[in-house]
Amino acid sequence: MDKSQDRSGRDGARSGALRLLAAVEEGATLDEAAALIEGAAPPDRARARRLAREVLRRQARADALLAPFLARRPRPEIQRILRLATVEMLALGEAPHGAVNAAVALARASGPKGQAASGMVNAVLRKVSASAETWVGLPPQHMPGWLRKPIVAAWGKPAARAIEAAHEAGAPLDLTPKAADCPGDALPTGSHRLPAGTQVSALPGYDAGDWWVQDAAAAMAVRVLDPQPGETVADLCAAPGGKTLQLATAGSRVTALDISESRLARVAENLARCGLAAEIVAGDALTWRPEEPLDAVLLDAPCSATGTIRRHPELPLIRDGAGLRDLTALQARLIDHALTLLRPGGRLVYATCSLLPAEGEEQLAAALSRHPGLTVEPPQAPGIQPGWITEQGGLRLRPDLWPERGGMDGFFIARLRKSA
């Protein structure tokens, strides 16, 4: 590829990133906005999404650096161009002349008002390119108040700052092995880790179904459940299926339930690729009942997904916590119903990919108060550190844990035993 083709591809990816960022400002997730860049070549689509994620992780930080160089706040489309070039230069190591020239071209291409602002874009970004020391001294982007306040209350300001640093750093690629020969570095909990950006389908063992993509924290829910061969287990809210695959690998007789038939199709595809079997049922986890009481239930409940901000940096920008009350009410109803599906002495693992105590520690306390015979069994699985276990006996995982390894998603996991 010659330099002109490479530059064209980069500029196409930048244009795509700007379209994604504009969609996020309108309230869309990056997945929902993906249709806006469908016409681009696959490498440009991948680069556009990567650029958009990196900007979203540092948007407030870029704005703080830009502010002293701006006489007034620019139009939104120009502000997005400035943010993109700032992050490219100061966070991603892009050569200043390339990033500045591309930003000026993007401004000019945005219409008459962009053409008028192109001189300002050039002048401001040349100053930004010389501000690396200032950039390094700026703190990572704060979580919004509705999320940061309960985190500070639960674990203190230093933990909140460490979580914010983990959000900015992004997430590596984790695999759960079915076979012993799995790519990546082995983690203490049994997952394997590869650098972010690794092309999944090119890894050895993908076609053979020797492993699947699953964050190390997400994989802990099944390991805490400890499914046994021949046990009857239901995976409620099962899609996209990583936990179903774990249960099937353990030799359990698994029912994978989800309300979305389209999402269950992905579960079926993953089971087929990995050579595993489970009964797939489209249904409502609040009303579904098995023919016979179950040995165990895994309930990975619908939640705020605030534990996945490393992977989905748009979430703090498009949500305001308004639906939390409805979510916690739904979680409580799901816990109550799941317990009725168990045989006496059966066990339930409740999990949420949330950083909010309302969806974890507080939900567990409320369940114990509603069900006097219910007991918590502290998690027993490889790699769990004592500091991760709460006073109640739940497992609290946070993005700032394992900082030397690249962190993990935020999760709350509790193993509950029904009275015999």
On the question of pLDDT at 7 being above 80, the answer is no
Work out the pLDDT band at 10, boundaries 50, 70, 90: confident
In a domain, 151, yes or no: no
Distances, alpha carbon 49 to alpha carbons 18, 33, 128, 339, 408, in Å: 10, 10, 23, 41, 21
What are residue 296's DSSP bridge partners? 233, 347
| Domain membership of residue 316 as a residue range | 173-417
Domain match, 217 and 305 both: yes
pLDDT number for residue 326: 97
Average pLDDT for 191-199? 93
Domain match, 245 and 296 both: yes
Tally the domains of the chain. Answer: 2
pLDDT number for residue 2: 44
pLDDT number for residue 6: 52
When the pLDDT of each residue in the chain is averaged and rounded to a whole number, the result is: 95
pLDDT number for residue 420: 87
pLDDT number for residue 8: 55
On the question of pLDDT at 64 being above 80, the answer is yes
On the question of pLDDT at 1 being above 80, the answer is no
Domain match, 194 and 333 both: yes
Q: How far apart are CA 361 and CA 366, in angstroms?
A: 9
Determine what percent of the chain is predicted with pLDDT higher than 70.
98
Domain match, 300 and 192 both: yes
pLDDT number for residue 9: 55
pLDDT number for residue 173: 96
Distances, alpha carbon 24 to alpha carbons 107, 198, 303, in Å: 19, 25, 20
Tokens of residue 295, six digits: 């040995």
Q: Name the phi and psi angles at 267, rounded to 5.
A: -60, -45
pLDDT tens digits for range 271-330: 999 999 999 999 999 999 999 999 999 999 999 999 999 999 999 999 999 999 999 999
- Annotated binding residues for S-adenosyl-L-methionine, written as ranges, equal 237-243, 258, 284, 300
Determine whether 207 is exposed, middle or buried from the number of CB atoms within 10 Å of its CB (0-12, 13-18, 19+): exposed
Domain match, 113 and 186 both: no
In a domain, 302, yes or no: yes
pLDDT number for residue 179: 83
pLDDT number for residue 253: 98
Domain match, 316 and 222 both: yes
Domain match, 332 and 230 both: yes
Q: What is the CATH number of the domain that holds 399?
A: 3.40.50.150
Domain match, 101 and 225 both: no
In a domain, 119, yes or no: yes
User: Is-catalytic flag, 182?
Assistant: no
Of residues 262, 228, 223, the one with CA closest to residue 242: 223
| Other Cβ atoms within 10 Å of 229 Cβ, number | 8
The residue ranges of DSSP E strands in 306-388, in sequence order, are: 342-352, 375-376
Do you find a cis peptide bond into 240, omega within 30 degrees of 0?
Answer: yes
Q: Which of 87, 120, 137 is the last residue of a domain?
A: 137
pLDDT number for residue 4: 46
Domain match, 130 and 186 both: no
In a domain, 155, yes or no: no
In a domain, 164, yes or no: no
In a domain, 146, yes or no: no
On the question of pLDDT at 142 being above 80, the answer is yes
Domain match, 29 and 106 both: yes
Q: How far apart are CA 381 and CA 378, in angstroms?
A: 10
Average pLDDT for 242-269? 96
Distances, alpha carbon 196 to alpha carbons 173, 200, 210, 283, 312, in Å: 5, 10, 20, 35, 14
Domain match, 377 and 230 both: yes
Domain match, 250 and 122 both: no
Task: Tell me the pTM.
Answer: 0.94
Q: How far apart are CA 211 and CA 348, in angstroms?
A: 25
In a domain, 143, yes or no: no
pLDDT number for residue 11: 85
pLDDT tens digits for range 356-399: 999 999 999 999 999 999 999 999 999 999 999 999 999 999 99
